[in-house]
């Protein structure tokens, strides 16, 4: 005799009863075994669909024999392939692999994680077959078990990161500020134009948890080498940086210049560069280094100046001039 069942992923499966061991239902201490308790518990809770890992395929006939013995309806089965860390190892929190909570704590968006996890071992069909980003409402509408693969899926952190970055870029500006604000506040404890900062961060941000490391210069200027002012593309050297920053001081000191207007500050710097017969980068790249001590920052020199405000900008520019003049 055989015991057969239908799985929505693997189809019809039959197992010879002679190949199954006799089930132990009650242990010597009088407590029921897991398999026995599981069937009773699922029935009492009215479980109609059982979704679990494919490693339980082999034990399903044992469950069904118990259902039949009790005269209970057998649930629908959906056995999913495992999610792998690599070709040989399954994902396992025991081995340090990230859980959903870990990913959210690192700054991944919930909707991005859900989107990526849904695509692990499942793929949409028809008009959605080439689509990668789905809202939860779309997934509820189009998801069907026939899209589940029988092959294991490999968890790709880079793919998750790319999907998360795309979700971040699609956020309305106000929503990005709301979600990023706690990360900004943890890193910056001095006054800063958060709206302008976020306008520069959002196109570059892939994971919210990495915002802080980009902002460490706002509270305290790091030590840096003068060679940082040398940039072949912008045609700058420490010597030209000294010239540029010295020329910028009276521009930045002008009380008529509104540091709340980024475009106005940029235009004033551009006009000074044009007056000197130079390109914008020749003027603005040294300004960015003087304000941050870094080669790459969330925003150019004019943006950083407006984020920090006039007083801090002038203080750092003067410190940079002194450093370059020493």
Tell me, rounded to whole angstroms, the distance of Cα 198 from its chain centroid: 16
Contact criterion met (CB below 8 Å) for 242 and 252: no
Catalytic residue among 27, 85, 93, 194: 93
SS (H, E, C) the chain: CEEEEEECCCEEEEEEHHHCCCCCCECCCCCECHHHHHHHHHHHCCCCEEEEEHHHHHHHHHHHHHHHHHCCCCCEEEEECCEECCCCCECCHHHCCCCHHHHHHCCCCHHHHHHHHHCCCECCCHHHCCCCCCCHHHHHHHCCHHHECCCCEECCHHHHHHHHHHHHHHCCHHHHHHHHHHHHHHHCCCCCCHHHHHHHHCCCCCCHHHCHHHCCCCCCCCCCCHHHHCECCCCECHHHHHHHHHHHHHHHHCCCCCCCCHHHHHHHHHHHHHHCCCCHHHHHHHHHHHHHCCCCCCCCHHHHHHHHCHHHHHHHHHHHHHHHHC
CA dihedral 121, 127, 133, 136 (to 10 degrees): -80
Question: Is residue 93 annotated as part of the catalytic site, yes or no?
Answer: yes
Q: Residue 235: how many CB atoms within 10 A of its CB?
A: 13
Tell me, rounded to whole angstroms, the distance of Cα 178 from its chain centroid: 16
Distance CA 36, CA 114 (A): 33
Catalytic residues: 93
């Amino acid at each position: 005799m055989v015991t057969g069942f239908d799985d929505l992923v693997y189809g019809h499966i039959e197992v010879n009863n002679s190949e199954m061991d006799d089930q132990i239902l009650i242990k010597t201490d009088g407590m029921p075994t897991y398999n026995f308790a599981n069937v009773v518990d699922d029935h009492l809770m009215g479980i109609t669909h059982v979704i679990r890992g494919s490693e339980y395929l082999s034990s399903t006939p044992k469950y069904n024999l118990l259902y039949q013995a009790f005269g209970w309806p057998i649930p629908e089965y959906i056995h999913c392939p495992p999610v792998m860390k690599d070709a040989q190892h399954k994902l396992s929190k025991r081995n340090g692999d990230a859980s959903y909570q870990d990913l959210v704590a690192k700054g991944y968006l919930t909707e991005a994680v859900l989107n990526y996890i849904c695509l692990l071992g499942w793929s949409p069909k028809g008009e959605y077959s080439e689509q990668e980003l789905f809202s939860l409402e779309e997934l509820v509408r189009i998801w069907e078990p026939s899209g589940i693969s029988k092959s294991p899926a490999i968890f790709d952190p880079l793919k998750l990161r790319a999907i998360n970055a795309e979700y971040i870029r699609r956020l309305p500006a106000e929503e990005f500020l709301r979600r990023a604000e706690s990360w900004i506040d943890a890193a910056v404890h001095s006054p800063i134009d958060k709206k302008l900062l976020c306008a520069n961060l959002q196109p570059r941000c892939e994971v919210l948890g990495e915002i802080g490391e980009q902002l460490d210069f706002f509270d305290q200027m790091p030590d840096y080498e003068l060679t940082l002012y040398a940039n072949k593309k912008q045609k700058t050297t420490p010597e030209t940086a000294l010239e540029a920053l010295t020329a910028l001081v009276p521009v930045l000191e002008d009380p008529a210049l509104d540091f709340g207007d980024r475009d106005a500050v940029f235009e004033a710097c551009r006009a000074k560069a044009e007056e000197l017969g130079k390109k914008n980068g020749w003027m603005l790249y040294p300004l960015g280094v003087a304000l941050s001590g870094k080669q790459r920052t969330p925003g150019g020199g004019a943006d950083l100046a407006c984020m920090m405000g006039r007083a801090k900008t002038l203080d750092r520019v003067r410190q940079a001039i002194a450093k370059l003049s020493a």
